[in-house]
Amino acid sequence: MTTDQSSTTTTVAAGPNAEDPDLVPGLLPESPGDREARHPRTPLWRSLLHGTGLVGSILVITVILCGTIGPLFTPYAPDQQIDGAYLLQPSLDHWFGTDDVNRDIATRVLYGIRIDLLIIFLAVPIGAALGVVAGLATVTHPASDVIAQRVFDVILAFPALILGITLTAILGPGAVTVGVVIALAEIPIFGRLTRTSVLRVRELPYVEAARVSGATTSRILLRHVLPHSLEALSVQFALSLSLAVFIEGALSYLGIGVVAPAPSLGSILAGGNGYLETNPWFSLGPLIAVSILVLGFYLIAQSISHDRRLRR
Amino acid sequence: MTGYLLRRIPTAIVVLAVASILIFAVLRLIPGGPEAALAGPDATAAELAAIRHDLGLDQAFITQYLAWVGDILALDLGTSYQVGGSIADLIGFGLINTLILTVAALIIAILLALALALTAVLFDNRFVAGLLTVVNAAAIALPTFVVGTVLILVFGVRLRLLPAGGIPPNGFTESLQISTQYLILPALTLGLPAGAMLARFLTESLRTELQQPYVLTARALGASRTDIVLKHALRNALPPTLTALGITVGALLGGAVLVESIFGWPGLGLLTEEGIFARDYPLVQVLILLSVAVFVIIQLLADIVHAWLDPRIRLAGDR
């Protein structure tokens, strides 16, 4: 791979958005140089700092700040019932109004963000780690490959929400159950991804070289193969965070997620659902927070995957 | 091809069998069995035991499971304890509603995908590209419960243009106009993310086609850009997108659970939710098995089509 950074493109560079060849179709066939890496060794986190990645990071960081330090500034507690504040409209005292049991919705949204972040940042890494381990295990032995693949198939055969509804019926509703559902849903996704990328590099000369020089299988997998999959895994990780916010919201919306009176974005939304006719602003706060969070993670995933394709 | 089918089909059957055992076992782990729900809070231990005996719940797990599988294979789905009535009838009613919703959503998704992808390819300037990126990201990423709530708020509550939920009072025997009014919001909510996802596939596929030499030839012969895209590139870009359509149908059926709950749409998703909370084992186990079977079959079909198109996959195990 050459690192000639001045290698400009023919059709693409002439277009108005030269930094984004994917958005410029151009009817002329592309020359191989068009897909040449311009920054082949750019570290992964650079994707977070420009274009859609930057927008995504700003959105996510804003929500994270709201969820971490926001609760320090609210004059109310999330479950505090304020006298005479039944379903108030938004005002300076109550930015998103108050709910049907006289609680400040803005406060509940801030605490809801906190619980959501806690769930997704615990459940997704756990699920991802288990999935990666299972994915690496598939290539060590033919039998483990067959077993792990069928386990992935079986988990994937259950739609995430059906899995969630069923598990909730057994474990009882609550933040822990939501976390278990999310982690379980991630295992086959990361497992398959890891397996595919391991299979792709297994036959490459540098892996063979490592084996010839006496490296053990686990060393080759961890030191040589896994780093190669890092980009694909980070894209999926960001997507999974986005999906996890969705699963939490969906389960709580169905009334089987985080239990009252603890607020979560989905449960506040579910509460506001009964008042869409009369008090639509009830749902506004959680709607905004969920949208920003989901969109932010999604944009980050898109940005990493886009930069990664450029590097190919 | 036969070799591939002989390897692939047994795998699907094994997955289904394992899933059926899991479903059967897992539902019996739910605390507070159906006897408690049936007998009410004041039942004595003897009454509970009698009900368990009537339902066959006191038999060995394996006996119960085999009896159930036998019934299913004989196409006898059984009777619901709680929701009431024959399970086949309940599922039939729900299935029609879910299918109507899914098909409507699929049509919306396909139209949306064509519109977005063709716009992206035909009008390629910075403004359109930026706009499409935003629309696409929002349509894919925004959760259905957010989109659904906003649609209900705007069209159902504020503008009062469309009903905010449910199905037509007399089912879909009503006039087409009334049916469409009830269908439009849920179908849009369900079809939007699927359509945006398909649009990404189709755009990518169209752009790959537009880099082929035949496009240059057509251009040299004086064909207009629109002609090239519509008459040549689109035709060749469709097959890979059709494979993606299989995934889309699966996603639509899975997403229907939530959309049905948002809009109070009496389909299979709402029935599953109702059944689980009522501890209606016979109903729920059939419903979950059905959804797993649908997913496994769609996956199987997608793999077979893929193998048929790509000899490398088909022949992988024959070496």
- One-letter amino acid at A249 equals G
Q: What pLDDT sits at residue B314?
A: 66
SS3 at position A98:
strand
Which token pair is B35?
């006897």
User: What is this structure's pTM?
Assistant: 0.81
SS3 at position A160:
helix
Comparison of pLDDT for A299 and A29, the residue scoring more: A299
Q: What pLDDT sits at residue A91?
A: 82
Tens of pLDDT, residues A242-283: 999 999 998 888 878 887 778 888 888 888 877 877 788 888
Label residues A278-310 b or e (16+ Cβ within 10 Å = b).
Answer: ebbbbbbbbbebbbbbbbbbbbbbbbbbbbbeb
pLDDT along chain B (319 residues), means of 10: 82 88 83 70 77 77 86 83 81 90 93 92 84 87 89 84 76 75 91 91 87 89 88 81 75 85 88 80 85 84 76 60
Q: What pLDDT sits at residue A184?
A: 93
What residues in B contact A277, CB-CB < 8 Å? 157
Tens of pLDDT, residues A138-154: 888 888 888 888 888 88
Cβ distance B124 to A295 less than 8 Å, yes or no, reads: no
Residue A182 in contact with residue A119, Cβ under 8 Å? Answer: yes
Of A29-38, A175-184, B145-154, B163-172, which range is least confident? A29-38
pLDDT tier at A11 (50, 70, 90 boundaries)? very low
Label residues A39-72 b or e (16+ Cβ within 10 Å = b).
Answer: eeeeeeeebbeebbbebbbebbeebbebbeebbe
Cβ distance A157 to B19 less than 8 Å, yes or no, reads: yes
In this predicted structure, the answer to whether residue A287 has a pLDDT above a threshold of 60 is yes
- One-letter amino acid at B280 equals D
What residues in A contact B216, CB-CB < 8 Å? 27-29
CA separation (Å) from B48 to A179, B29, B61, B72? Answer: 34, 17, 18, 27
Q: Which one of A147, A155, A158 would you mutate to disrupt binding with B, by most B Cβ within 10 Å of its Cβ?
A: A158
Tens of pLDDT, residues A205-244: 888 888 888 888 888 888 888 887 888 899 899 999 999 9
Task: Report the C-alpha gap between B55 and B57 in whole angstroms.
Answer: 5
Considering CB atoms only, which of B27, B164, B254 is closest to A161? Answer: B254
Mean of pLDDT values over A33-49: 60
Burial class of residue A244 in the structure, from the number of CB atoms within 10 Å of its CB (0-12 exposed, 13-18 middle, 19+ buried): buried
Q: What pLDDT sits at residue B192?
A: 94
Q: What pLDDT sits at residue A113?
A: 93
Residue A148 in contact with residue A210, Cβ under 8 Å? Answer: no
Q: What pLDDT sits at residue A57?
A: 94
Taking CA–CA distances from B208, the nearest residue in chain A reads A25
Q: Which helix (H) or strand (E) holds A63?
A: helix A51-73
- Percent of chain A scored above 90 by pLDDT? 25
Q: What pLDDT sits at residue A29?
A: 41
The DSSP annotation for chain B comes to: -HHHHHHHHHHHHHHHHHHHHHHHHHHTTSSS-HHHHHH-TT--HHHHHHHHHHHTTTS-HHHHHHHHHHHHHTT---B-SSS-SBHHHHHHHHHHHHHHHHHHHHHHHHHHHHHHHHHHHHS-SHHHHHHHHHHHHHHHHS-HHHHHHHHIIIIIIIS--S-SSS--TTGGGS-HHHHHHHHHHHHHHHHHHHHHHHHHHHHHHHHHHHTSHHHHHHHHTT--HHHIIIIIIHHHHHHHHHHHHHHHHHHHHHHHHHHHHHHT--SHHHHHHHHHHTT-HHHHHHHHHHHHHHHHHHHHHHHHHHHHH-HHHHTGGG-
Whether ipTM exceeds 0.85:
no
Considering CB atoms only, which of A170, A245, A246 is closest to B26? Answer: A170
Considering CB atoms only, which of B11, B153, B228 is closest to A27? Answer: B228
In this predicted structure, the answer to whether residue A7 has a pLDDT above a threshold of 60 is no
Cβ distance A245 to B143 less than 8 Å, yes or no, reads: yes
SS3 at position A12:
coil
Q: What pLDDT sits at residue A15?
A: 37
Residue A218 burial (CB count, 10 A): 10
- Give B157 to chain A, closest Cα distance, Å: 6
Task: Report the C-alpha gap between B285 and B88 in whole angstroms.
Answer: 13
